[in-house]
Structure 1
Amino acid sequence: MTKDYIAPDSFTFNKQDYFKTGSQFGEVNFLQILAPEISDKMLSEFLEVEENLIINFHIKAIEQMEAIKSIKRKLTDLDKMKIEENKKAIRSGYDMDIMPSDLLTYGNEAKQLLSELQTHNEKMFLITILFTVIDDKKSSLDNTVLQLKSIANRHNCSLKNLNYQQEQGLISTLPLSKNEIEIERGLTTSATAVFIPFTTEELFVKGESLYYGLNALSRNIIMVDRKKLKNPNGLILGTPGSGKSFSAKREITNAFLITNDDIIVADPEGEYSEIVKELNGEVVKISPTSKDYINPMDINLDYADEDNPLSLKSDFILSLFELVVGNNKLSAEEISVIDRCLPK
């Protein structure tokens, strides 16, 4: 199956708007950026599409002086167009200040771009963004492309099909560093950086690491040995039915299979007894009617690292009896009785 996917029997490019790779259907589209400003949420929304989607970025840097000269030439062309519009206005007898809105918009954007390149340490890049979708069914392929177009439209962009260029688009998708699509969009450093999702923090610890899910941004797995972190404590939060108990049971199972840690579960609801039995663990039931008991007088001489374990147990017994007595505090005589029971 893997071999057929990597090296299918055939490629068919006899349709203008899609191709076939083996028995699967594929389609290559390019992103037409219309918005003057791009949100960094757009790429994350594209990546959330749970289909066989490949996104390619072909980014080519332009030498700074060449970029500035190119924009100045564009401004000169726009000025010529404004002069022509003024001449038309004089001949037609209407106000010369009335200009086509597109001409004014392009002029302002070009001036802003020139200012960013000259004074804001920005650079110019030519970028081509390709979206390749592959699916077993043509109908599913069309639905995925429609979903991608909807995301692009929300961000004032447009996803266009590469009509009669599907083969060139597929070649540009492959990791060959070769772009055969001559559709480029000029962007500054800040605008280009929106499409570089390398600012996420990854958490992958080698050794006896346990699986804790996927990174919400990069979708890489999270593998952690909590004992190696500054704070090894953990807390599982979530809405009812979101899988908190399942996550806890998964971590218990992983810790049992991978590590040599002691696993102790305080389970007031009796929810984890079955998994403990499956892992050949011991279930200790504590209740007024159970056969298991906790002896508060029991003591382990290795309990304390440096302190005297007998003194610690004495303090515990005093606290226990004060809880039993309640509001009536222990008298000095009663405290001395407990104290005399300890060896000096």
Structure 2
Amino acid sequence: MRRSAKQSEKDAAQSARRIRKRRAPEKAADCLQYENMYEGGVCEVEPGLFSMTMAFTDVNFQLARQEDQNSLFAQYSEFLNYFDPDIHLQISLVTRRVDEAEFRRDTFLPMRGDVRDQYSEEMNRVISEKALQGQNGLIREKYITISIHEDTYHKAQIRLFKRAEDIQNMFKRMGSSMRVITGIERLNLLYGIAHPEEVMDFSYDWLLAENCLTTKEFIAPSGYNWKPEHDDSRAVYNDRYQFGEYYGKVLYLRDIAPQMKDNLLSLLSDLDFDNVISLHIDAMDQQKAIEMVETQLAYMQKEQGDGMSKAVRMHLPAFMGVRYELTNQIDGAKELIDSLRNYDQKIFKVCILIHTYGRSNAELDERVQQICNTVQQQTCRFSPIPFEQCAAMNSVLPLGKKGLSLERTLLTINTAIYIPFTTQELFQSGGLYEGINARSRNLIMVNRKLMPAPAGMVLGMTGFGKSFAVMQMMAGIMLRWPEDDLVVIDPENEYAHLVQAFGGEVIEISPSSKAHINPMDISEDYGDDDNPIRLKSEFLRDFCQLIFNREDLTPQERNTIDQATLLTYQKYLLHPEREQMPTLNDFYSNLLLQGADGKNLASALQMYVNGTMDLFAHQTNVDLQNHCICFNTVKLGKSMQSIGMMTVLDQIWNRITRNRVLGRRTWIFTDEFQLLLGNSACTNYYFELSSRARKWGAILTSITQHVRSVLNNEDARRMLSDCGYIKLLNQAPDDANDIARLLHISDEEKRYIENAEVGSGLLIADKVVVPFNNTFPQDTELFRLMDTNPNRKK
């Protein structure tokens, strides 16, 4: 009797679920066909069916080389073949309009109530004007949803996370990063589709208020009308629905051709209005698929035999009894069986849907017409789904369930044609404006603070906007992050006006200048967790090697410099006060105490201590505490440029170590970077500084027009390869070819740095490659500060 009672309860519960599923929805929340959305991101779509959604980043498929496209296509085909019949795959491409306040917060520079606000207003005006040229009010997101059948939530969670890990690894090999999104993020995604142009306000704590509340209550629109009235008659539509203030419609892709181009999803994603594209993909069991095709082939062969026999009985040639289409179908079935057995192909049931909306029926019809026109160039078309818009709407939502019987069977290779990768965008919230994407016309915003390898290089021929691009970056840093320190090495006197306008300090380093910088300056944090004197001794060895114009020092000379360095800093270490800081003169005196080797070294150093080039033999007498410093070395002359730049780099290292203790970022810009590559000591010191700087919170940017000097220097090539930020402006053809090989740039991408216009080129940031244009209004004060064109200056 107990068993009978339990069975009765179970039957009653199943009956209630069937009734609840079939009854007309009483409220908008009932129209959303899922049961529970858990905080961890797993959704119970229906009893026994659970799903998980992952967001993934785009890959530059359209700009990639042909061999890279083929490789990516093959990898994506492997990804599709990964799925078994017990896993449902849904790919969602969501284009939605971002909130205006959120867009301004992510792009505009803040106002701080000081004299710099005039520059922030100008930059914000430029960003606003450029935003109108593209689709910057729209964001494009890509998701994968997988769903499985399981008895309990906990079992489903374990299986889904295991599958998610496998998928993440596959996408990583394709160059795309992927992450599982949380329950709040999934609800926000659903809310954005159900409430266009609105921002969700929801917390899981709210569900504790009443037991009957579900997440659907908070994301559903005010109501659904599945038979909205015509605007001009009393008739009703059956191929669209009304939700809140909007009219929505779901279309499905029919007449899918086996041979298609791979840019269909790219064309649809470029539409300049809100839409959601959903691909539902179910794999068939391989053995059952082969048996199904063999059965169809057997029927067709029987029809062929019967037709041939009938023709012979009528005294006609046998082939006249067989339809031409039947012959092609038989050949196709044989090829299909061969593909399934020998060429790693599977059969998938594919359904492609697209959803859009309008504030009126007329606006909706206009958008639908644009969608249909977009796919006209392909041998397929979108068709309405009458009387099933509720099921279609739920099938579009990234829940992991298809509620429609519309589908087409395709092989792996035909399914992979609908590859979800198009063109990368580069928009990092709270970053700096870098121009607009030359392909999509969208804003490019870069936040190098978020990059794991923020060091950068700016390379370009003279006269094509290299210095302007760097100064625009510097201005953005001082306006976006005024608490950061900025230091620039300026061998050509190009940055002084900008630095002074922002309240910075310009320090002229030359034999005639009264400003002095002491290369012996040291701080207690100088040593990078090592002995600061040991590290300073390494600097002095490089400094001496540079002065002596030698490729290297002998071991004995190195030891002599070490001993002199220890003696030089003894007094300062006992009383570490600014007045006790030793100078090059003290180091020279201690070299004389080191015997014959010391005297030889001191003799070579004498000109820089007591002679005509003694500008570095004095105590530092300039203010190095300013947040923005420009070291102007234009009057040093070629013979002293490398020594001057190395001394400045050592001062910069002092600042980096100090700022690390203070928790402050340090931005370093080194113009005419090639000057450091003419001497191995300079190159080694800069390379070591670059390696240490990343760990110490500093961000280096190296700038040069002599690209060949970078490509011919092994250390410089390594630095270029390690940079997370690379801006390439116009390049000479040979340089462009060598850079393309080094950075694995495709031919399509390379054309953006050959014969490029001023201010245009290619930007590589955090492994994202985008072509850019950056024209800046000339009627602004910022332009006048950043412009280096001698004709306009005149």
- C-alpha separation in 1, matches of 2:270 and 2:307: 47
1:234 partnered with 2:458? yes
- C-alpha separation in 1, matches of 2:455 and 2:225: 56
User: What's the counterpart of residue 266 of structure 2?
Assistant: 44
C-alpha displacement at 1:35, in angstroms? Answer: 1.8
1:342–1:216: structure 2 CA closer, same or farther, 3 Å change rule? closer
1:67 counterpart (289, 295, 310):
289
- C-alpha separation in 1, matches of 2:431 and 2:200: 32
Deviations 1:102-149 (A, max 9, x none): 333333332222111100122222111111111223333223322322
Q: Is the 8 A contact 2:425 2:437 kept in 1?
A: no
User: What's the counterpart of residue 56 of structure 1?
Assistant: 278
User: What's the counterpart of residue 368 of structure 2?
Assistant: 145
Deviations 1:282-306 (A, max 9, x none): 497xxxxxxx977455553329933
- C-alpha separation in 1, matches of 2:265 and 2:284: 24
Unaligned stretches of 5+ residues in structure 1: 285-291, 316-337
- C-alpha separation in 1, matches of 2:220 and 2:297: 49
2:353 counterpart (130, 140, 149):
130
- C-alpha separation in 1, matches of 2:370 and 2:447: 32
1:87–1:65: structure 2 CA closer, same or farther, 3 Å change rule? same
2:387 counterpart (164, 178, 193):
164
User: What's the counterpart of residue 301 of structure 1?
Assistant: 518
Is the partner of 1:80 in helix, strand or coil?
helix
Deviations 1:64-109 (A, max 9, x none): 1011111112212322343454456557776543554433333333
Identify which of structures 1 and 2 has the higher relative contact order when contacts are C-alpha pairs closer than 8 Å and 6+ apart. Answer: 1
Q: Is the 8 A contact 2:499 2:505 kept in 1?
A: no
What percentage of aligned pairs have identical amino acids? 24
C-alpha displacement at 1:22, in angstroms? Answer: 1.5
1:182 partnered with 2:453? no
1:85–1:297: structure 2 CA closer, same or farther, 3 Å change rule? farther
1:341 partnered with 2:612? yes
C-alpha displacement at 1:193, in angstroms? Answer: 3.0
C-alpha displacement at 1:45, in angstroms? Answer: 1.7
1:27 partnered with 2:254? no
- C-alpha separation in 2, matches of 1:245 and 1:87: 83
- C-alpha separation in 2, matches of 1:103 and 1:58: 30
1:127–1:8: structure 2 CA closer, same or farther, 3 Å change rule? same
C-alpha displacement at 1:225, in angstroms? Answer: 4.1
User: What's the counterpart of residue 224 of structure 2?
Assistant: 11
Unaligned stretches of 5+ residues in structure 2: 1-197, 202-217, 228-236, 521-537, 550-606, 618-794
1:198–1:151: structure 2 CA closer, same or farther, 3 Å change rule? closer
> Higher mean Cα deviation, 16-25 or 2-11?
2-11
Structure 2 counterpart of 1:233, which letter?
M
Aligned length: 308
- C-alpha separation in 2, matches of 1:246 and 1:16: 58
- C-alpha separation in 1, matches of 2:467 and 2:323: 63
User: What's the counterpart of residue 332 of structure 1?
Assistant: none
1:262 counterpart (480, 483, 486):
486
User: What's the counterpart of residue 103 of structure 1?
Assistant: 326
Higher helix share: 2
Q: Is the 8 A contact 2:290 2:340 kept in 1?
A: yes
1:113–1:248: structure 2 CA closer, same or farther, 3 Å change rule? farther
RMSD of aligned Cα (Å) = 4.8
- C-alpha separation in 2, matches of 1:59 and 1:72: 23
1:221–1:264: structure 2 CA closer, same or farther, 3 Å change rule? closer
